[in-house]
């Protein structure tokens, strides 16, 4: 029997409110341009032709309450506040009507983006993974089980930087609903327990700087706290 050359770290665990258990993460999917106002501020057309996705490695996860150094090789790192969905059941080619049966719970999240690197990649028509998939780029607060949160509706999603609100909308403003996203994504992947879906960001994305303190909030969920320190 083949033996591993070295031992890899265990999957990252996201705390769950009201329990000492953790949610193990195997994959992170992210939805692009899922709020009309954000799509417009980025200079993109707003449509419902189809959602699009990008991936982040689980190793990019960073728990709420952390202090992280300003990201490497960028001078324009942006915050993107998001509603995160955690799956607990397999999903493959399911309908939107079935999709919510696969959901374990929800969390506040932030997708950090090296915007300058993303811009260069877009201009040269190259993949822009390096602008999204980097250490500490996927911030997440403790998960709240689905039953405790209730139905997804007009809950406010908000991000403040140093006490100033920079992003604010409601979950009802999403172009693609959570059931629609799960159903569509399940056409391309065998979704499974341990999969997180960052469902997109509202308008108001902007730069973070060393010394900034970020507070992410969604009605009914544990809030997210993050401090940016000096670059390494």
Dist CA 185 CA 50 (whole Å): 10
Each residue's pLDDT, cut to its tens digit, for the chain (232 residues) gives 899 999 999 999 999 999 999 999 999 999 988 987 655 555 556 666 778 899 999 999 999 999 999 999 999 999 999 999 999 999 999 999 999 999 999 999 999 999 999 999 989 999 889 999 999 999 999 999 999 999 999 999 999 999 999 999 999 999 999 999 999 999 999 999 999 999 999 999 999 999 999 999 999 999 999 999 999 9
Dist CA 117 CA 75 (whole Å): 9
Dihedral angle sign, alpha carbons of residues 85, 190, 93, 102: negative
User: What pLDDT shows up at residue 40?
Assistant: 56
- Residues 136-156 as b/e (b if ≥16 CB within 10 A, e otherwise) read bbbbbbbbbbbeebeebeebe
User: What pLDDT shows up at residue 33?
Assistant: 85
User: What pLDDT shows up at residue 98?
Assistant: 97
User: What pLDDT shows up at residue 36?
Assistant: 74
User: Closest by alpha carbon to 167, among 111, 120, 222?
Assistant: 111
0.75 exceeded by the pTM? Answer: yes
Q: How many C-beta atoms surround the C-beta of residue 54 within 10 A?
A: 17
Dist CA 7 CA 76 (whole Å): 35
All structural domains of the chain, each given as residue ranges with its CATH number in brackets, are: 13-229 (3.90.850.10)
Q: Are 143 and 85 in contact (CB under 8 A)?
A: no
Q: Could you tell me the two tokens for 131?
A: 């602008």
Dist CA 174 CA 169 (whole Å): 9
User: What pLDDT shows up at residue 193?
Assistant: 98
User: What pLDDT shows up at residue 44?
Assistant: 59
């Amino acid at each position: 029997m083949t033996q591993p050359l070295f031992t890899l770290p265990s999957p990252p665990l996201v705390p769950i409110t009201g329990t000492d258990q953790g949610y193990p993460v195997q994959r992170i999917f992210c939805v692009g341009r899922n709020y009309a106002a954000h799509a417009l501020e980025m200079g993109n057309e707003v449509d419902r032709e189809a959602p699009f996705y990008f991936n982040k490695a689980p190793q990019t996860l960073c728990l709420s309450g952390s202090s992280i150094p300003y990201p490497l090789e960028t001078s324009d790192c942006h915050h993107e506040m998001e509603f995160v969905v955690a799956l607990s059941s397999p999903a493959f080619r399911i309908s939107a009507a079935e999709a919510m049966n696969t959901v374990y719970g929800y969390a506040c999240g932030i997708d950090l983006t090296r915007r300058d690197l993303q811009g260069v990649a877009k201009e040269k028509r190259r993949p822009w993974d390096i602008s999204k998939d980097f250490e500490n780029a996927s911030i997440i607060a403790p998960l709240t089980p689905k039953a405790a949160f209730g139905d997804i509706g007009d809950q406010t999603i908000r991000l403040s930087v140093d006490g100033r609100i920079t992003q604010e909308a409601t979950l009802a403003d999403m172009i693609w609903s959570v059931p629609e996203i799960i159903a569509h994504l399940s056409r391309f992947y065998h979704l499974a327990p341990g999969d997180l879906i960052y469902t997109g960001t509202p308008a108001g994305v902007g730069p973070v700087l060393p010394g900034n303190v970020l507070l992410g909030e969604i009605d009914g969920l544990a809030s997210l706290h993050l401090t940016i320190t000096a670059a390494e």
